[in-house]
Structure 1
């Protein structure tokens, strides 16, 4: 009897029409229960059509786009498939929409079968090529850019493509070894260095193919296939297999359940770097820094990447994990640990004091985190409010909120956080699929901090970061400092657990889909999508081609009516701040070097063909190195910032040497930060601009009251 999957819709997340999914026949003409893959594909198809904010028509055109994207994800360098494979698969390039509607998974199954075969063939090609010496005096070139070449016509063409690619990788190692020999005067011959270079490259590819053949499972390729579908709808709609879904939820919450050992991969081995104080590993007492993990339960983790090993080690709170460990003394032992909560302190807000012309508070917020499963968990709004409280107690004259590299996170937290700086009012407008618009408001009339405020952003500031920067800009509450514009992610996603949509056992969890369901608009009506937020004070960008605009599947920019909101009573006058900064930047050697570096990177990006002889390669490297070497001197051109942790925070770290060391590194990274340095200059100007009001406020707040 055929299994039917009943759709169970989580009403609080998204409204998708309920019903019974009808699955196509699978197998030899009889009605079999749908497998996990068929169930996932059918669910994803219906969710995209009925739940996505702005779904594209799922038709043959959509199918062809998915087809091309999936092939790129499987064979981005065009080193596995043959041209004949692509031609054979092309008869299925309009099949994706059918599979989403219940047809057999012919495209995935045939592509999966082919790629496994071609990977096995390539695994036999590279060792043969690397057995023979390369002639680095022979004049020839290699094309690295896959967009500039086709798939190999036949086996001979594929072998030649691998030969050139391996020769280039070996040439890179060979040139490095020659440079090292010339420095240390080791006396090794060119021939010996060529052998060593090939051995190093072989080791890299041995590891690569071990992963491709033994740990790249059908599930992994299926996830790639589903993501080719979802990201063709828009870049932020993702399918997450069960373990990836768990990792995403852990990242949002700022905590996970594990053993509290920090790891690194070293020569194919997983080595413990340090133990987190108070964690299960710390309490058990056996594990030490530099111990090597050989097995996690029964799985040999030799050759594993760190993230792969971490996935095995983490799990449900209270469950046991067994590690087979080789200690630094050479002994091997099995350690049993009970998983417990580990907090990711590095993802939480933290503050510091910058002293100089004025006393400035600095708050670093790496993401808008929120633990939706635990009311007592970490929430970025609460933490930033606490950092503001501490900084006010330190009598700061201005606050810089650093949102650089902050990719976003919790919408409720950013709305409440904006309310710390402005009275009640619309922070962001959110538009749903049907066109309905909601004004998301801060409803707290109180303002926790009313002094000078600056927001630092760059191209990697996205989503919630852009909401925060845009709100402060629209209310004229703060000056936004940074790259010309932010990332441009103006969409809202909901994480839907696919297991909630089905009834019946399909042999394991189906994972989840992070679905784009709404779009953000500023209080002034403009979307943050695609264009991002333009900085008031623009600083030279150190990055080349970053942002939503790079993705052809990104949703478009548009506008809606302006919300009803009142600007800040003492609006920031950005014009003089912008003019003063522009004069400083024009004469700033660090920023001049950054601009030159970007120009060099653009030229390097345009290079598609590379020489395979040592003379031409060295000449290329010398020219590029000379241009890029100037960038190393950027920090030398930056005046040191006098930045220090709050005494209360340092007191909490006493006795934890690992956290103290990390805190020291965190401060050190900011001492010669050209962007933070200029933000401090802008804040100094803003404080002076606000000084009369600020002086009165501090005088009133600090009056000594005489007891009655």
Structure 2
């Protein structure tokens, strides 16, 4: 059952060669502002793909010796991947992707998109039905959806007068003016109403620092931060505005004597590795003044490894992100960390879990994370203006200080909690199911296992599928040049 409007070839722009991305989990993203089509021939594009993949792909030695370069570029790219298979190749590639147009991805990876500001999941209305409803999971402050009055837990059943079903529900992702027909939930029953809300998507910069709070429960002071994308600053900015905002939040946590911490990464599909390192450095405990302690180590294919080692701007340190020693670190006040997770928790979010586990207990609450222990370059063609294709092949695998990386299937939660669609409390409310699960564990009321009911709804799509995490690291000069010359 597929209600996404496009496979993974749709229009979002790509970073120029010379950046490294640790992207979020791929979930059949929908079309976002397509701009332009390539005029380069299939043969040219396919050979460009092949040359770059043989150089940069993590599994370069698995590429077929004589692939068919007459295929359409997206089909060709797919044909040379070392594909994941749950039974025969569980550590294969789930995340490499290619797109024909390259207009919007740079902005997207910096939190700027054309959006109504309303993120939602699409569910079967009832089991066995083809009718679909949307449930709002969060709304960006100041966005058109916020101004229209949308809030978490709102339910809609129609868009522009058309009732949603498994065939047409992609219209909910539309970019024009959208009129949503609302439904109400009372005593578990869903009822359509005549109430409508109208939104028109705009270009909007999302602040990933969504909410922070401190809760005092008995002798516990619980710091809470909901962080939805690892982005250092607004698109086009050279300042790390959002990283600085995170630092300020931890300054408040430190001043207020927080002794428990809950990171809400349930919708965070990844982001800038340096922003992830910054956040981890505010939390880590036990460094005791040590310098150059690894947060993450990156492993590339043998050819890339050799070239990076030999590059004057590369060398051995390029493979590592080290913890820093920020003044607002609260590790000395903590004995453990709680991370709220779902299958949207991916990439740089999972680096937080894996990278901090050598230093402290990290409990996860929610559902199993995505299992993305790999990252990707974004590669575009600077040699041929008619080739607008861009690709993000998996190019490296991530390890923590103890050389641990085996979370291909995700991190299984310490406490399993479902988000109860139709009964969602505001994010940051202590009645929210995932936050309540963490607080119960903090108070010793549960030692793990499943808390609450099992969701009966079937999720068939999500607006979050449009969002790609990205981590930006400059490549050494020689390596960048080799990519340019492929």
In structure 1, how many angstroms separate the alpha carbons of the residues matched to 2:364 and 2:213?
A: 19
Q: Is residue 490 of structure 1 aligned with residue 373 of structure 2?
A: yes
Tell which has more relative contact order, 1 or 2 (C-alpha 8 A, sep 6+): 2
Do the aligned residues in 2 keep the contact of 1:276 with 1:282 (CA within 8 Å)? yes
Matching residue within 405, 417, 422 for 1:528 = 405
Normalising by the residue count of structure 1, what TM-score does the alignment of the two structures yield? 0.40
C-alpha contact 1:269 1:301 (8 A) present in aligned 2 = yes
| Alignment partners' CA distance in 1, 2:346 and 2:258 | 28
Give the corresponding residue for 2:297: 429
Q: Name 2:279's counterpart in structure 1.
A: 417
Q: CA deviation at 1:304?
A: 6.0
Q: Secondary structure at the match of 1:392?
A: helix
Map of 1:163-312 to 2, 5 A cutoff?
223=74, 226-227=77-78, 229-232=80-83, 234-242=92-100, 246=104, 252-260=109-117, 278-280=142-144, 293-294=159-160, 305-307=168-170, 309-310=172-173, 312=174
| Contact 1:253–1:377 (CA under 8 A) maintained in structure 2 | no
Does residue 516 (structure 1) correspond to residue 383 (structure 2)? The answer is no
Aligned to 1:456: 338
2:393 is paired with a residue whose SS is strand
Question: Are residue 668 (structure 1) and residue 395 (structure 2) matched?
Answer: no
Q: Deviation of residue 260 (structure 1)?
A: 4.3
**1:98 maps to 2:67:** yes
How far residue 669 of structure 1 moved from its aligned partner, in angstroms, is: 1.6
Provide the C-alpha distance between the structure 1 equivalents of 2:135 and 2:61, rounded to a whole number of angstroms. 47
Q: Is the 8 A contact 2:375 2:395 kept in 1?
A: yes
Change over 3 Å in CA distance of 1:490–1:307 after alignment to 2: same
Deviations 1:361-391 (CA, angstroms, capped at 9, x unpaired): 2334454344573327887643432332233
Gaps of 5+ in 1: 1-8, 15-32, 61-96, 109-221, 314-320, 543-593, 595-631, 636-659, 685-708
Higher strand share: 2
Distance in 2, matches of 1:275 and 1:465, equals: 21
- From the CA coordinates, give the structure whose radius of gyration is larger: 1
Cα deviation 1:78-113 (Å, max 9, x = unaligned): xxxxxxxxxxxxxxxxxxx332xx3x22xx7xxxxx
Distance 1:352 1:227, change over 3 A: farther
Deviation by residue 1:656-705 (Cα, 9 ceiling, x = unmatched): xxxx96337674224642x5422444999xxxxxxxxxxxxxxxxxxxxx
Q: Taking structure 2 as the reference length, what is the TM-score of the superposition?
A: 0.56
Q: Is the 8 A contact 2:145 2:199 kept in 1?
A: no
What SS does the aligned partner of 1:257 have?
A: strand
Contact in 1 for aligned 2:59/2:82 (Cα 8 Å): no
RMSD: 5.4
| Distance change >3 Å, CA 380–CA 533, structure 1 → 2 | farther
Q: Deviations over 1:443-485 (max 9, x none)?
A: 44645323114223579565434433344343x3x22224999
Structure 1 position 527, deviation (Å): 3.9
Aligned residues between the structures: 362
Alpha-carbon spacing, 1:39–1:308, altered in 2? closer, same or farther (3 Å): farther
**1:490–1:532 CA contact under 8 A, matched in 2:** no
Residue 519 of structure 1 aligns to a residue whose secondary structure is strand
Q: Secondary structure at the match of 2:49?
A: helix
Change in Cα spacing, 1:244 to 1:539, as seen in structure 2 (3 Å) is: farther
Deviation at 1:413, TM superposition (A): 0.9
Distance 1:367 1:677, change over 3 A: farther
Q: Distance in 2 between matches of 1:46 and 1:405?
A: 35
Partner secondary structure for residue 278 of structure 2: helix
For residue 417 of structure 1, report the CA deviation from its aligned partner.
Answer: 1.9
Answer yes or no: is 1:472 the counterpart of 2:353. Answer: no
Residue 46, structure 1, aligned to residue 51, structure 2: yes
- Could you report, residue by residue, the CA deviation over 1:517-545 in whole angstroms, capped at 9, with x for unpaired residues? 33323233x1424579999xx947x5xxx
Change (3 A) 1:667 1:363: farther
Q: Distance in 1 between matches of 2:63 and 2:351?
A: 31
Q: Report the Cα offset of residue 493 of structure 1.
A: 1.6
Deviation at 1:49, TM superposition (A): 0.3
**Whole-angstrom CA distance in 2 between matches of 1:387 and 1:35:** 49
Change (3 A) 1:359 1:270: closer
Unaligned runs of 5+ in 2: 1-14, 21-37, 85-91, 183-191, 310-315, 448-486
| 1:309 CA drift (Å) | 4.3
State the SS of the aligned residue for 2:305: coil
How far, CA to CA, are the matches of 1:482 and 1:49 in structure 2?
37
| Structure whose residues are more often helix by fraction | 1
The within-5 A match list for 1:68-87 is none
